[in-house]
Amino acid sequence: MINCLFCKIIAGDIPAEKIFEDENTFVFLDIGPVSKGHMLVIPKNHAENLTEGSVEDACSLMATVHKIAPDVMRGLGATGYNIGMNHGKDAGQEVFHTHIHLMPRYEKDSRLFVKFQPSKEELHEVAKKIREVLS
């Protein structure tokens, strides 16, 4: 999709802190995270939302979450995580390419979904920690 932000990230046209990539999915840090290590898991095939994409892509998304979540928790010292998905404008979807939010959580975390603005260096350091422990 020519004007899709996430398709441009997958293609390498827009920089992102990539965490993981396989044949069907791409994972990168959210630039407006609600927790340290908040990342987006996206299918490489463009679809505006989950139900417009294929079942195979939906299964690939969850398989990637299942694969990386334990390593992300270990790498960042998280004690839990939230999984979120906004489906459609009225649900808060801002980028119309299917994506799952994987949000690591920590002891005494407020568990609020309030975005903060980390520096590029902070994002880089978090991505580095996660990449180092992915198996």
Helix (H) or strand (E) holding 105: strand 100-105
The residue annotated as part of the active site, out of 66, 99, 101, 124, is 99
Q: Please say if 97 is a catalytic residue.
A: no
- CA–CA separation, 95 and 119 (whole Å): 21
Active site residues: 99
